Structure 1
Amino acid sequence: MIREEGRGQATSLIPASEAARTSGYPGIEAKMQPSSPTPDIVTIGILALQGAFAEHQVMLQKASLKRRVVIVLVRQQEDLDKCDALIIPGGESTTIALLARLAGLLEPIREFLKTKPVWGTCAGAILLSRSVEGAKKGGQELLGGISITIERNGFGSQVESFEAPLEVESLREANRPFHGIFIRAPVVIGLNPSPTDPPIQIISRISASLLPTSQTAVPLDEDDTDPRDSRTIVALRQGLHLLTTFHPELTKDDRFHEYFVRECVLPTLSSRSSSPA
Structure 2
Amino acid sequence: MSGTVTIGILALQGAFAEHQTRLQNLRLKRKITTVLVKTPEDLQRCDALIIPGGESTTIALLARLSGLLEPLKAFIYTKPVWGTCAGAILLSQSVTNAKKDGQELLGGVSVDIARNGWGSQVESFEAPLDVNGLHESSVPFIGIFIRAPVVLALAPDAPIQVIARLPPHLLPEPADDENDPRTIVALRQGLHLLTTFHPELTPDDRFHDYFARKCVFTTVPTV
TM over 0.5: yes
Partner residue, 2:161: 201
Per the TM alignment, residue 64 of structure 1 is displaced from its structure 2 partner at its CA by 2.0
Partner residue, 1:43: 6
Partner residue, 1:164: 127
- TM-score scaled to structure 1, two decimals? 0.78
Q: Does 1:108 align with 2:68?
A: no
SS across alignment from 1:243: strand
Per the TM alignment, residue 212 of structure 1 is displaced from its structure 2 partner at its CA by 1.1
> In the aligned structure 2, how far is the partner of 1:261 from the partner of 1:169?
15
Runs of 4+ aligned structure 1 residues displaced above 6 Å come to none
Q: Does 1:238 align with 2:189?
A: yes
SS across alignment from 1:269: coil
> In the aligned structure 2, how far is the partner of 1:240 from the partner of 1:78?
22
For the aligned residue pairs, the C-alpha RMSD in angstroms reads: 1.6
- Find the structure with the greater CA-based Rg: 1
Paired AA for residue 220 in structure 1? D
Where structure 2 has 5 or more consecutive residues not aligned to the other structure, the ranges are: none
Paired AA for residue 105 in structure 1? L
Partner residue, 1:210: 170
The Cα offsets for residues 85-127 of structure 1, whole Å up to 9 and x where unpaired, read as 0000000000000000000111101000111000000000000
Paired AA for residue 208 in structure 1? P
Q: Does 1:264 align with 2:221?
A: no
Q: Does 1:220 align with 2:182?
A: no
The structure showing larger relative contact order (alpha-carbon pairs under 8 Å, at least 6 residues apart) is: 1
140, 144, 153: which one aligns with 1:177: 140
8 Å CA contact 1:153, 1:184 repeated in 2 = yes
Partner residue, 1:64: 27
Percent identity between the two aligned chains: 69
Partner residue, 1:81: 44
> In the aligned structure 1, how far is the partner of 2:152 from the partner of 2:2?
38
Counting strand residues as a fraction of each chain, which structure ranks higher? 2
Q: When the two structures are aligned, how many residues end up with a matched partner?
A: 223
Partner residue, 1:127: 90
8 Å CA contact 1:39, 1:269 repeated in 2 = no
